A and B are shown apart, each in its own frame.
Chain A
Amino acid sequence: MSSTEQGTSSAAPAEPTTAPESAAAPEVPESFYYVHGKDKVVHKVSAGALQHSALIHGMISNLGYTEEQAKANPFPFENIDGDILQMVVDWCNQHKGKPTPPEDTNLPKQKEKLFDLVLAVNYLEIKELLTYCCKQVAMMVKGKSPEEIREIWMIPTDAEDEAAEKEAKKRAGKEAAGETAAAAGDAK
C-alpha cells in the first residue's frame, strides 16, 4: 500500500491558527487520519481538513482513534476512484479552517471528472464542495439550446425513456414470476 502525505505537505508551516478557541488555548498538536479510495493509495489528512466532510467527521467523532490506530486503519472508500479522492483531499486541505468563498476558483477543471466528483462529494457529505460542483455542472449548459443540453447531459429522448421503462417493467415482471415459482417450489 503506497502513501502520500497531502495533509502535511500542503499545510504552510507559518500558517496562523484559524480556530478562534485555539488563539487563547495552548497549541494542541494536530491529529491526522488516513483515507484511501479504489486504488488503495492512502492519503494522510488532518482532522481540520476532514471537518469539511460530515461523513468522515461523524466517523472520527465516534471512533476516538489514536494516531497509531488511525494509521493502521485508514478509512476505506472503495466506491471512490483514487484520482477523485485525491481531488477531494486537495480541496479539503486548501480550505482547511477557512471560510469558503462564494466562488471557488480551485475547483477541478476536468469536466469528465465532474460527474464522479459530484457523486463522491455527495457520498462524503461535503456541502460546500457539492455546491461548487453543482454550479459547475449548471455552467456547462449556459446559453445552450435544448438539443445541445441533451447532448452534454446525455438526456434520453421520450422514446428512449419509454423503451427503458418498458424494459424495466418487463424485467420486474420476470423477477416477480421467478420469485413466485421459487416460493411455490419451496412450499412443495
Chain B
Amino acid sequence: MPIRLLSLPIDDLQYTLNCMDIGDLIAFSLCSKRTKNLVKASNRKMRPIEVYVKENYIRFEIREGNDYESISFHIFDFYIKLIRKEFKVWRKREFTQIDWIAHFISIVNGSMIDYLNIDTVSLSYLDAVYQFFPKCHRLDINERSSREFTKIAFWKLYPIAEKLDINKNIFDNDENDISKYLALNLTELSFIDWQKPFKLELEDLLVLNIARLTISPTNITEKELNRFLKLWMKGNHKFYRPNNIRLSLRNLVNREEVLRGVKYQIVSNRPQLKRADGKEVLITIRGRCVTFNFQG
C-alpha cells in the first residue's frame, strides 16, 4: 500500500531519509528533482568517494561514515548497475553517462571526489573524463597502463588533481624530461616504480615547484644531495616552494656524505639546517630514504 512520503512533516521526512542506507537514498534521489534536492539537503555524511575509470564504465565506490561495506555503482552510457548483495540495473530516461556522474557528484556533498583511478582507456575518453570530473583530490594513473598512455593521461588530467600518483617510470632516461613535470605548480606528486628507478639530478631539485614530492626509487647520489643542501643554504631570501621532498635511493644512504661540509644542529635527533633569513630544513635519513622538511 503506497504512502505519500513527501506529505510528511519535514522533520519526519528528514528522519526517514536518515534511516535509509546510502543505496536506497541514491535510488530515492533519482525519482525527481525534488527528491534529489531533499537528499542533497540531508547532508548525509559519507566517507571519501573513490572513482575508477574503465574503458566501458566508471565505477563509484561509496561508503557511509561508519560503514566499512561499500556500495559500487557501475555507470555505463545509458544505465547504471548497482552492486550490493545482488546486481540491479537502473535506467533514467534521457540520462547519459555525464548526467549520471553529475547527479552522483551533486548529491554526495560537493563537487570534489577524493580518489580518481584511471585505467587504460581510449585517448578520446580521457577528454570526457576531464569533463566529468572538474576536480579531484587524488589522481592515480594505474600502473598497468602503458608508458605512453600514462604520459598523455598525466598532461590531460593533472589540472583537475590536487595530488597525483604516477606508478610507472614514464621517462626515457636518455632524454630525461622529469624537470618539465617537477616545474609544474602542483600540491603533491608521487612517482613510484620499483622496477625502474627515476633519473633525478641536482638541477631538477632546484627547479622544483611542487609542494610535496615523493620519488621512489631514484638514482640521485649523496654527493648531489649534499650540493643541493649547500646551494639551498646560499639561497637566502630566494623563494623555494617545496615543503616536503621524500626520496628513496637505490642503496642505503650515506649520512656523512649528504651532510659533509654543511653546518647543522640536531633537533629531535635529526639534523636541521638554518639559513640567515630564518628558513629551515629538517633532514630525516633512514635506510634508503631521505626526507627534507622545509619550514619558515
Contact = CB atoms under 8 A, between A and B. Distances in A.
Interface of A: 111-112, 114-115, 118-119, 122, 130-131, 133-135, 137-146, 149-158, 161
B92 interface: yes
A119 to B, nearest CB: 7
B4 interface: yes
A30 B28 CA distance: 47
Nearest to A141: B24
B125 interface: no
Contact of B4 (A142, A144, A149, A154): A154
A130 B12 contact: yes
Given A139-B19, A155-B32, 7 more contacts: A112-B1, A112-B3, A142-B24, A143-B24, A145-B90, A149-B27, A154-B5
Given A141-B27, A149-B28, A150-B31, A118 B4 contact: no
11 contacts: A131-B15, A134-B15, A137-B19, A138-B17, A141-B27, A145-B27, A153-B5, A154-B2, A156-B32, A156-B34, A158-B34
Interface of B: 1-9, 11-12, 15-21, 23-24, 27-28, 30-35, 84, 88, 90, 92
B19 A138 contact: yes
Contact of B3 (A115, A135, A157, A158): A115
Given A138-B24, A149-B27, A155 B6 contact: yes
B37 to A, nearest CB: 11
Contacts of A150: 31-32
Given A115-B4, A134-B19, A143-B24, A155 B12 contact: no
B30 A146 contact: yes
A172 to B, nearest CB: 19
B109 to A, nearest CB: 20
Contacts of B23: 143
Contacts of A115: 3-4, 7-8
A1 to B, nearest CB: 30
B32 A161 contact: yes
A151 B30 contact: no
A68 to B, nearest CB: 36
Contact of B88 (A140, A141, A145, A153): A145
Contacts of A114: 3
Contact of B32 (A119, A135, A142, A158): A158
B185 to A, nearest CB: 42
A151 B88 CA distance: 18
Contact of A157 (B6, B11, B32): B32
A119 B18 CA distance: 18
A88 to B, nearest CB: 15
**Lowest 8 A-B CB distances belong to which pairs?**
A138-B19, A153-B5, A115-B3, A146-B30, A112-B1, A134-B16, A134-B15, A155-B31
Contacts of B32: 150, 155-158, 161
B8 A118 contact: yes
A138 B20 contact: yes
